[in-house]
């Protein structure tokens, strides 16, 4: 299906809604039935028929269709956060006494569910260097129930060879799940490489306007049906119809936003590579990136997120860079219209928490939709302050 068809028309069935160009928001918790037989039939097909909005809602259903099509999947579920989707995917594929193989540096809250939560129920894990398929296969045990990937990750951007990972998992009869938030379905479609499930923090690129927190899980009808009757309906981490309508609005410009942020970020990353105050730039699309060939084989773009190391002698010198920096908001996350900076220094000296293991001179930038030349002026202010 053409990308324009998915983003602009798929699932909207305007003849059902007075030919409204934008789909209505079915802001209701409940649905009524004319007859007892109608009620019974709806209950029997609650994944496809509206009974109660925790299960199926017409506005949310439009979004599900679009997201599944974007990821070349048969079906999708949407959740109240990215971690809602990630947790549901993991919980649906683990059991007491089971084992999960995960790449070594996943999203921090994915790390938390594997390290802090699942061991309470007898589920163990092994973190591996995802850049080496041999290490992934060596970590698989007789009780392994899931291979969890994140390619690229969202700090240092290591990739996994998706085709090789899928082949290894299928050889051992293990399902695969990948966090595809970094690339978005515009720049990478893991199911095409044999991956079984795709999750996103849809808060990022899919919504793209920094006003909705949501997650998505894409996969086969069988997988999504099992998660629907299990973790989705039981735990109830669903998305509201109003938020679903905002995401549908955000998807209209997804392709344009991804191209813009990719081009602007690459331009700034190339400028940073030659800057005397910068040690190293980590951007999958740069020839200097160790896995550049793999990135270009699996992806068609890299979006707006990348990192670099300040060539700073002291922690205080690094802090001065952020004191002088202009035009970037100091914040977590990425994928909206606004450019962001997340310094590793922010995770040092936090009351009640151990210092981060990430080097303090690492800086993560997200390049939004602003003029890259205007943003570069803001970066130069930071470098000038750092040298002062």
- Cα(107)–Cα(296) distance, rounded to whole angstroms? 23
**pLDDT, the chain, mean:** 96
CB 316 within 8 A of CB 323: no
Classify 159 as helix, strand or coil.
Answer: coil
Residue 343 pLDDT greater than 90, yes or no = yes
Phi first, then psi, for residue 281 (nearest 5°) are -110, 130
Give the pLDDT mean for 142-164. 97
pLDDT band at 2 (very low <50, low <70, confident <90, very high): very high
Longest pairwise C-alpha distance within the chain: 77
Q: Determine if residue 272 is left, alpha or beta; phi over 0 gives left, psi from -120 to 50 gives alpha, anything else beta.
A: alpha
- 252-281 residues labelled b (16+ CB within 10 A) or e (exposed): eebeebbebbbebbbebbebbeeeebbeeb
Position 146 pLDDT exceeds 90: yes
Torsion of CA 204, 207, 212, 216, to 10 degrees: -80
In whole angstroms, give the CA distance from residue 293 to residue 282: 14
Asked whether the beta carbons of 206 and 254 are under 8 A apart, the reply is yes
Q: What's the gap between Cα 93 and its chain centre? A: 19
Beta-carbon-side half-sphere exposure of residue 79 (alpha carbons within 13 Å): 26
Backbone phi, then psi, for 109, in 5-degree steps?
-80, -25
* CA-wise closest residue to 213 among 337, 79, 24: 79
Instruction: Judge contact between 75 and 67, C-beta under 8 A.
Output: no
Residue with tokens 């070349």: 72
pTM beyond cutoff 0.85: yes
pLDDT one-digit tens code per residue, 76-129: 999 999 999 999 999 999 999 999 999 999 999 999 999 999 999 999 999 999
Tell whether the model's pLDDT for residue 387 goes beyond 90: no
Helix axes 372-387, 254-273, angle to 10 degrees: 40
- Start-to-end CA distance of the chain, whole Å, equals 55
pLDDT tens digits along 279-318: 999 999 999 999 999 999 999 999 999 999 999 999 999 9
- Phi and psi at residue 263, to the nearest 5°: -65, -40
- Tell me the pLDDT band of 388, cut-offs 50, 70 and 90: confident
Q: What is the pLDDT of residue 254?
A: 98
Reference 200, options 334, 94, 59, 83; nearest CA is: 83
Given this model, what pLDDT does residue 70 score? 98
pLDDT in tens, 192-251: 999 999 999 999 999 999 999 999 999 999 999 999 999 999 999 999 999 999 999 999
Q: Is 2 exposed, middle or buried (0-12, 13-18, 19+ CB in 10 A)?
A: exposed
Sign of the Cα pseudo-torsion (215, 219, 223, 226, in order)? positive
Residue 260, phi then psi, degrees to nearest 5? -65, -45
Check residue 371 and give its pLDDT: 98
Cross-strand partners of 305? 366
**Nearest one of 124, 121, 102 to 111, comparing CA atoms:** 102
Q: What is the DSSP string of 320-342?
A: HHHHH--SSEE-S---SSS-EEE
């Amino acid at each position: 299906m053409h990308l324009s068809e998915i983003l602009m028309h798929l699932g909207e069935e305007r003849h059902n809604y007075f030919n409204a160009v934008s789909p209505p928001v079915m802001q209701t918790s409940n649905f009524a039935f004319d007859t007892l037989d109608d009620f019974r039939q709806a209950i029997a097909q609650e994944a496809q028929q509206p009974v109660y909005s925790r299960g199926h809602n017409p506005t949310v259903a439009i979004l599900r269709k679009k997201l599944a099509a974007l990821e070349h999947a048969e079906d999708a579920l949407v959740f109240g956060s990215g971690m809602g989707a990630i947790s549901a995917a993991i919980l649906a594929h683990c059991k007491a006494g089971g084992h999960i193989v995960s790449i070594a540096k996943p999203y921090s809250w994915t790390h938390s569910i594997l390290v802090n939560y699942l061991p309470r129920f007898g589920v163990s894990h092994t973190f591996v260097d995802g850049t080496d398929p041999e290490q992934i296969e060596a970590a698989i045990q007789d009780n392994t129930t899931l291979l969890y990937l994140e390619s690229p990750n969202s700090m240092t951007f290591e990739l996994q060879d998706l085709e090789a990972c899928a082949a290894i998992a299928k050889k051992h009869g293990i399902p695969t799940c990948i966090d595809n938030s970094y690339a978005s379905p515009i720049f990478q479609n893991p199911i095409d490489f044999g991956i079984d499930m795709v999750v996103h923090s849809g808060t990022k690129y899919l919504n793209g306007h920094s006003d909705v927190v949501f997650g998505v899980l894409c996969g086969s009808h069988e997988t999504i049906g099992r998660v629907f009757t299990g973790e989705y309906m039981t735990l109830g981490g669903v998305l509201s119809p109003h938020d679903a309508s905002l995401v549908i609005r955000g998807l209209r410009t997804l392709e344009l936003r991804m191209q813009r942020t990719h081009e602007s970020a690459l331009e700034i990353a190339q400028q940073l590579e030659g800057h005397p105050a910068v040690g190293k730039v980590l951007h999958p699309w740069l020839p200097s990136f160790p896995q550049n060939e793999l990135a270009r084989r699996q992806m068609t773009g890299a979006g707006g997120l990348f990192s670099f190391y300040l060539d700073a002698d002291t922690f205080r010198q690094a802090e001065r860079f952020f004191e002088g920096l202009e035009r970037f908001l100091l914040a977590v996350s990425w994928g909206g219209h606004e450019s962001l900076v997340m310094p590793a220094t922010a995770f040092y000296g936090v009351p009640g928490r151990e210092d981060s293991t990430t080097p303090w001179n690492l800086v993560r930038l997200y390049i939004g939709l602003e003029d890259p030349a205007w943003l570069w002026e803001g970066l130069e202010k930071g470098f000038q302050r750092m040298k002062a």
